[in-house]
Amino acid sequence: MQLQLFNYTAEAGWSVEAFPQLDSPNTLILVFGATAWLDNPAPIQQLAKAYPQSIFLGCSTSGEIFGTTILDESLAVAAIRFTTTTIQGACVPILSSNGSFDAGQAIANQLLQPNLRGLIVLSDGTSTNVNGSNLVRGLNSILPDSIAVTGGLAGDGARFTRTWVLKDKMPHSGYVAAVGFYGENIHFGHGSKAGWRIFGPERRITRSQENVLYELDGQPALELYKRYLGERAADLPASALLFPLSIRESHDSDKQIVRTILSVDEETQSMTFAGDVPEGYFAQLMRASFNGLVDGAAEAAAVARAYTPDIDDTLSIAISCVGRRLVMGEYTEDELDAALEVLPKGTQQIGFYSYGEISPFATGYCDLHNQTMTVTTITED
């Protein structure tokens, strides 16, 4: 496996003199960039021209991760040419309210072959019909649980307006794209941790529909958030990311899932989350602890490392939630330091701040997470 990372900013241009000579049918070009490239895709077109045979996978972000640095308004690129592993891309539109599920099934059907080992999936993060939970359900309905599925929902800074994923090497809204990895020599590692702390009373979800939350304990959920946010309520929906929701099926359930907010609707007093918030579940507000978040990132990387052999040419794809970035501000890069520090020496890290992370729960089927740092490591023998 040959691997090279480089980036692009409007001020400095490409960080490399010439694009690395890695083009091949087994080359994956990972591209994470600002939403703005949707209107001005020139640098992406340059990449497409430079890697005509390669498979592209990319999306817009709420911050591009390049090594241990966070960049905005840039393009972060990883070029990976596999030796024996073969790869295949797929991209389908999200068409209806059930579109995420259908898209998940379609992707899985397109990519499922006997020697499929892993799958990285990126989805539009803001279109009306996007529901990360349904996407994951669609994937799970087809794929066996031995196949590692990771990925995330595209971001749009803290704006929550529009996102893109690459389709035919060009940015488009309203799509789900994925790459499948085939062969015996590729190794996937994955870990996902939040590190948030729950606080305050646990409340019952008394009214919701899929990923739209209306009431907690019979009171409008939006009102509760506004009460906690005080003057920061003016920054909704972004400021609601400061208080993600931890949900679980019952009081004695250990499986807690973190849900992050996507949008609010003043008229119906509702809040739309990146994944389902089922009625009857119990919800508790969460708050950030800087140390907790940083430790969480390190733990996620450590879990991912445990799956893979220690090989110098390791690629780490870090997908972290925009909520973490909003909370940690100037401290955010601490979690990138912490994650990379845990991984084998020489590991190269790329990734993005997202509107939702996808990875398996410890073992078994993957799930949609929010507010986590999700680390996927890829190595090839």
Kindly state whether residue 329 participates in binding another protein, applying the rule CB under 8 A. Answer: yes
Looking at the Cβ atoms of 71 and 121, the one nearer to another protein is: 71
Judged by CB under 8 A, the number of residues near another protein is 21
Quick check: 370 and 274 in contact, CB under 8 A? yes
Looking at the Cβ atoms of 136 and 222, the one nearer to another protein is: 222
Among 161, 184, 330, 363, binds another protein (CB under 8 A): 330
What is the nearest approach in angstroms of another protein to the Cβ of residue 239? 9
Quick check: 290 and 331 in contact, CB under 8 A? yes
Looking at the Cβ atoms of 126 and 239, the one nearer to another protein is: 239
Q: Measured between alpha carbons, how far is 63 from 202 in angstroms, rounded to an integer?
A: 32
Would you call 261 helix, strand, or coil by DSSP? strand
Among 228, 282, 307, 365, binds another protein (CB under 8 A): 228
Q: Measured between alpha carbons, how far is 60 from 168 in angstroms, rounded to an integer?
A: 15
What is the nearest approach in angstroms of another protein to the Cβ of residue 210? 27
What is the nearest approach in angstroms of another protein to the Cβ of residue 159? 19
Site string for another protein, 69-88 (x = CB under 8 A): x-------------------
Subset of residues 130 to 169 that bind another protein, contact rule: CB under 8 A: none
In Å, how far are 91, 222, 264, 332 from 267, measured between CA atoms? 35, 11, 9, 34
Looking at the Cβ atoms of 172 and 287, the one nearer to another protein is: 287
- Among 302, 334, 31, smallest CA distance to 169 is for 31
Which range binds another protein by CB under 8 A, 34-42, 281-289, 305-313, 368-376?
Answer: 281-289
What is the nearest approach in angstroms of another protein to the Cβ of residue 38? 27
Q: Where are the alpha helices (DSSP H) in 208-346?
A: 221-229, 290-307, 322-328, 333-342
What is the nearest approach in angstroms of another protein to the Cβ of residue 286? 10
What is the nearest approach in angstroms of another protein to the Cβ of residue 288? 8
Phi then psi for residue 311, to 5 deg, are: -125, 140
Exposed e or buried b for every residue in 43-76, given b needs 16+ CB within 10 A? bbeebbebbeebbbbbbbbbbbbbbbebbebbbb
Q: Measured between alpha carbons, how far is 21 from 216 in angstroms, rounded to an integer?
A: 55
Kindly state whether residue 231 participates in binding another protein, applying the rule CB under 8 A. Answer: yes
Among 49, 84, 96, 200, binds another protein (CB under 8 A): 200
Structure tokens at 21: 């000579």
Kindly state whether residue 230 participates in binding another protein, applying the rule CB under 8 A. Answer: yes
Which range binds another protein by CB under 8 A, 79-87, 124-132, 323-331, 341-349?
Answer: 323-331
Which range binds another protein by CB under 8 A, 57-65, 223-231, 260-268, 305-313?
Answer: 223-231
The contacts of residue 50 (CB under 8 Å, 6+ apart) are 19, 23
Which range binds another protein by CB under 8 A, 42-50, 88-96, 156-164, 325-333?
Answer: 325-333
Q: What is the DSSP letter of 233?
A: G
Among 199, 253, 291, 310, binds another protein (CB under 8 A): 199
Would you call 114 helix, strand, or coil by DSSP? coil
Site string for another protein, 238-257 (x = CB under 8 A): ----xx--------------
Kindly state whether residue 285 participates in binding another protein, applying the rule CB under 8 A. Answer: yes
The contacts of residue 176 (CB under 8 Å, 6+ apart) are 91, 92, 93, 94, 100, 103, 104, 107, 121, 122, 123, 124, 135, 165
Among 263, 334, 341, 344, binds another protein (CB under 8 A): 334
Kindly state whether residue 184 participates in binding another protein, applying the rule CB under 8 A. Answer: no
Would you call 61 helix, strand, or coil by DSSP? coil
Which range binds another protein by CB under 8 A, 154-162, 254-262, 307-315, 326-334?
Answer: 326-334
Return the bridge partners of 284, or none: 246
Helices 290-307, 333-342: crossing angle, 10 deg rounding: 30
Residues that bind another protein (CB under 8 A): 69, 199-201, 227-232, 242-243, 285, 287-288, 327, 329-331, 333-334
